[in-house]
Structure formats: structure tokens, C-alpha cells
Structure 1
């Protein structure tokens, strides 16, 4: 990676020789979709700059799944073996009651990753981000610790204002900056116009493996609810990632960037629960990678406006309940870059083709999130003694697998 505070874009030899139009691309966000898109654009002869609000690639995050078409993209990028080498390698999971008594255990699947013997790869988010950024190579310019303050476009380009760097002009801008996309807000309007809240919150952070877990997950469901908390050992059992969630009828009033306020909310919601949840919350206060956010989706009629286009969660977040955010971002990055190549940089044709290729796949995966949510709620109702037929209440996991595999990638 090339980190710079100058205004000169790092240009690869391939870019210098590349014909065509709209070659200078700014990507906002260095998560999953941003570096994956940068990889392909760089190889297709575009000049790429990534601006990222964090001072470095963001640490922490949950274990995420690379599935279906994303595995194909990773193979085409030459990083699939690296991704598989860094997978979390779970052996199984257990559910426990408030006293820590095991209710059941399985070595066939886990809550976070699904079927253990599936071809899917479960990997920590920060590990995958590092792999993708390193694969993109030294031709990518990074502006860390900065963000967009303005976006003004005309028929010749996009003038972008930065919080810290001097303003610059690019041919195209891609917002790959997540659920709370700043790019989307600047170009398309308020987040509230596009956000569909799903009634729950999820939090993740790192803590020591004081339970001595060996590639295992332990989860506790709060009595009478569908959420609670759990923990999984990672990085050769040297640490753990904690997951906690709770239901909320409304969005929280505090800002999603106010970490201290969010920690207090989580402590108030789950501090009185059983099992190890209070002790895990004790480790939360000093966790440098604490994250808490709403389970929500982004729904938009169009993912582009002029020379600006959105990618991944910024355009069509399916929520962690879908288990498909990572796959959507990687697959869509491949498609967007490929369509820009095929259109020789004609953004109007490329953006339209990108939406045509991805729109139905996005719709199916967003529906999958609600299917998964219905299953969790049906299971909770059954445990409370309500008459619920899980087989007819929601589709089975085979249907989910068919949705995941339904996107057929083109060769560009």
C-alpha cells in the first residue's frame, strides 16, 4: 500500500499506458469493497485513490463469510488460498443457560459461520481487509485519516473537498463507505431516506480468551428474547471476539460514532443478564475495536448519480442477518470494475450495466435477511412453548444456498 499526504496520484505503468476515458477514480472507504474494487480497476488501467476516515485499515470486526461468487472472485484475484489459510477454523459451538449449563452442542455448524463442512470460508474482517489491500498492490494511493466534505460534479469531472487534504478533481467517485455512507449523504441525501431498520442491534469487540476456548463458540440467549451474547476463540485461541445483541423498537438516539455512549447503552441493556455476559461487558470498556450498530438495510432506486456510484453496504446493505454483506461487496466490486472496463470508462453505460447485473441478486439477499430473522424469532417462540412449525414458517437452509449461488459472474 502507498500512504501519501500529497496530491499526486500514484500511477502504475499499466495505467500510464492505458487508453480510454474516465481513468481517475476516487474510492471512499477501505473496508472490503473498496480494496477489492481497487484491485480490479488498477489491473484494468485506471488510476485509483482510496480515502479512509480511519488512520489505518480498521482493526477488529466480526468473523465474516466469503461465499458463492465471492469465492470465485477471490480465486480470480489469486488470494483464495491466503483467505483459506486465515480462516477461523471453528470445531463447533454450544448454547448455554444463564448458569453456564450446556443446553446443546454441535460440531456440524456454528452461529457465526453456518455449516462447518461447507465450501464457505469464515475469516475475521480485519484479516480479509488486509489480504485484499495487499493484493491491490503499490499502485493504489491511500489517504488515511481523511473523509469527504463536498462533492461537486459536472460533465467533465467530480471536484471533491477533503477534511484535511486539498481539494482534487477525479473522473469518477465510488462510495464504498458502509451503512452510514458519507458519500451517499453528500450526493443522494439523508440516510433516513434509504435506511430500513430491522429492530435489533449487534455489537462486536475483542477480549482475552479467559474461558480457554479451543476453536469453539459459546452462546447464551436471553430468556424470553431472541438475542443475548456469545464468544468465539480466534487467532489460534490467543484471543476472542465477543458478540452481543439486543432488540429495540426504535433506533437509538445516540450517534453511531459515539463509542462511549454506545458502550453505556449495551451495559444497561445486557449488564443484568446471566452467564458470562457481565464479565464480557467488563472487557468492553477497554476494547479498542468496539463496534455497535443497528441491523438495517439500505434500499435505493438507483445506485448512481452522474459520475458518482455506490458499492456494497453504502448502496444495498443487506445487514449481518443476511450473512451476505461480504459476498455482495466482493462480487459487486468485480462487476463494477468489469463493466467500467467493458464500457471503456463510459460511466453512464457501466453504471447501468452494473445495476442490471447486481439488482436481482441484491434483492434476493436482502430478503434472505428477513428470512433468517423470521427463523430466529420462530425458534425463540418454539422455546417459549408456542405452537410454531419451523419447517413451514420459513424456508430451509437449502433455499439460502441457492440464493447465495445464484449470481453467475461474467468474464470481462
Structure 2
């Protein structure tokens, strides 16, 4: 069960979405104790559809949650690219590209996966909601942590798993680990399901680099995505009401289902707006503090790899801590194993995201033609090398011998 060094170690994890609870699971397997602090008042159940691909699906299987994820799947059958009259210009079933294309074999709502992971770990993990880390004092033998609402505490290690905008990362790495914008703003919201919504996702391009996508879920609602090309202008820092007004302005004149979605902006209880970007940190640890998931190496939603990186990163980080006699060697090994996988995930196809957001009607026509060609069975094998993310390109270590209950 781990090493003598790991026995009884207390690890503070910042963030209770996907990466944090996944790490808590594996730390428990190796005899360590996890405390997860989350600034929200509970598990955030909102969010869009996420994919479990390649090595991420393998890790879910090793965690014993693959069947539960499959049972909670959105049931999305594929994605269709449609014009303003809802005519299909190209379509990809969920099993296209071996189930690793635009739609993965396992699709689940982010909030549903977070809930599942929380339920699997809450018996052995102390979850602290409604609080956050405000200061870290990294010493030779411990990390003294200050919180917004709780008394200071000491931990053996601290892991930042609190997303692309990680405040914990900023406390330790400052500007060294920055977000690189990709020139795209995206809004996510949940709207009532309509008769026009089926089991397929629908993607619509409009001139001006604008996209509206609608995706089915398993909760009786529809998940909407609105994105538009734009250089960074600070829109992500606007108040929610101002962001919704911006969307109304940007998407004025876009047909198809756009009026329906804009009409639900005020009523929706789930809304998130972001400047899409990547985190490229030159190092993932400093002293007794490490980075995990989007906090350390966000590949952006465009990559289709965020959830797999979170699951695989948690598995490798905990496994390397259990394999070494000290955190420094473990952190180095974690980065050595994960860095090539992350680099591949962050290497997006040429002209992304512009190629998926043409500015002209002619550009949209060209995109639809290319997609229709790629959808043909005879072309899929070649197209899959471009359109499928590198989800399996890592040799996952086997830490079975170190676990409390080898399976």
C-alpha cells in the first residue's frame, strides 16, 4: 500500500470538479488522506457535455466507475452540421473514427461526472465547501495554508486542481503559468428541450465566425453553446447581465434556432461565459505544491481532451507519489510521464479555432464540403488522424501492487 513515506500523508486539493475528486480517490487507494476545498457551496452540478476518451476511459475503468459513467451517459448519437434551414450538410455518428471523433463513445454531463466522483469519495475524503485558499507558506516539512474562512492548517502537500483560472496556481507560480487565449469566446447555457431537439447534437455556422450548437442531455433539457471569434477584450470579466447583452448583440441576425436560445438567456439558471485558452506552465510543481488538470495544463474545450487529461493526470500523480520516497522525485516523475501526453493534446490542428468558425458564407460552404467528405466511410480512416484527439498516446503505468485492495 504505497510506500512508508506516503502512509498517513495529508494532501490538500483545491477544486472539487473532476481532477480533484479523482486525485482524492487514488490518494486513498495508496494510504494517503485527502482534503478537498471548493469555493462553491457544494458540487457544481451544471455544465456541458464532456468526453471520456482513450486513456481517460482506461483510468475510469481502473477506478471502477466506467459502468456508472456509461449509465449516466447523455445518449448522444452523433453530431450533425446544419444550415439555417436545419438541413444536414455533414454528419458523424458517435462510433465514427472508432468512437474517438467529434462525439466520444462515453459522453456525460460535467456536473453528473462531478457528482458521481464526489459520491465515490466522500466517505474517505473531507470536503470543505464555501471556502478557498488565500495564502501558502511552503516550508521544508509542511505547507501552512491560510483560508478565507477557516483557521490556518498544515498539510504535507497541496495540489491546485481548481481550473484554468486557478487562484491557487497564481499564489505559487504568479505570471509564470499564464493562460494563452485562442481568440474565441464561448458561452454555455441550459435551455428547455424542444420538439426539434433529438438524440443528435446540431452545429450551425453563421457568417462572422459565429457558432450555435445544441446538444441533448439525459436530464430532459438541452445544452446550448454560443461561440464567436474575437481577440481578448476582457468580456470574460463582465457581469453576467452584460455578457448576456453582448451575446444578444453579437448574434443579432443569426437565424436557425438562435432566437429561441437568445430568448432563454434571462431565464436560464446555468450560464457560463469564458475566453477560450490554454495553460502552458513551464513546470508543474514548486516545493510541496503541484498543479493538476486545467490548472496546470488546460488544453481548451476545443481539444476534446480536458476530462481525459484530468483523470489521467490524477492517476499518474497519485501513483508516482505512492512509488517514490519523497514528493520531489514523485513530482518530477509525474511531469516526465504526463508532459508528452499534454503536449500532444495541446497541439491543435492548423487554423483552429478559425477553421471551425468561418467568417464568410463561402468559408462555411467550404467547411461543410470538407466535413461531408471526411464523413464518408472510405475517408474516415485518414480523416481520423486529423479530427481525433490523441487520447491514447500514453503508456499508463500500472500501480496495482501499491493499492490498498489490488483489483
Q: 1:337 and 1:115 mapped to 2: Cα distance?
A: 26
TM-score of the superposed pair, with normalisation by structure 2: 0.86
CA offsets 1:152-192 (integer angstroms, 9 cap, x no match): 1110211111111111111100000001001111111148x
Q: Is 2:115 the counterpart of 1:126?
A: no
Q: Name the counterpart of 2:405.
A: none
In the alignment, the residues of structure 2 paired with residue 75 and residue 254 of structure 1 have an alpha-carbon distance, to the nearest angstrom, of 36
Secondary structure at the counterpart of residue 360 of structure 1: helix
For 1:119 and 1:220, the matched residues in 2 are separated by 20
Q: CA deviation at 1:378?
A: 7.5
Residue in structure 2 matched with residue 74 of structure 1 by the alignment:
60
Partner of 2:190: 206
- Structure 1 segments unaligned to the other structure (5+ residues): 1-13
Shift in Å, 1:276: 1.9
* Per-residue Cα deviation, 1:104-141 (whole angstroms, up to 9, x for no partner): 35362599x97689873111111111111222241100
Q: Which residue of 1 aligns with 2:253?
A: 272
Deviations 1:238-265 (A, max 9, x none): 2111111011122425527x32332222
* SS of match in other structure, 2:395: coil
Counterpart of 1:56 in structure 2 is 42
Aligned residue runs from structure 1 range 324-403, under 5 A: 324-344=305-325, 346-368=326-348, 372-373=352-353, 375-376=355-356, 382-383=363-364, 396-399=383-386, 401=388, 403=390
Residue segments in structure 2 that go unaligned for 5+ positions in a row = 375-381, 400-407
Count of aligned pairs:
388
**2:173 alignment counterpart:** 188
In 1, Cα distance between the equivalents of 2:217 and 2:27?
Answer: 33
Contact 2:77 2:200 in 1 (8 A): yes
Measure how far apart 1:397 and its partner are. 2.1
Match of 1:230 among 213, 217, 241: 213
Give the match's secondary structure for 1:189.
helix
Corresponding residue for residue 280 of structure 2: 299
2:244 partner SS: helix
Q: What residue in structure 2 maps to residue 153 of structure 1?
A: 138
Structure with larger RCO (C-alpha < 8 A, sep 6+): 2
Task: Show the 5 A alignment for 1:235-314.
Answer: 235=218, 238-255=220-237, 258-314=239-295
* Change in 2 beyond 3 A, CA 1:20/1:315: closer
Answer with 215-224 or 398-407: which moved more.
Answer: 398-407
Aligned partner of residue 59 in structure 1, secondary structure: coil
Q: 1:219 aligns with which of 203, 210, 213?
A: 203
- Give per-residue Cα distances to partners, 1:359-400, cap 9 Å, x unaligned: 0111110003656536525797643569x98999xx832255
- Equivalent residue for 1:10? none
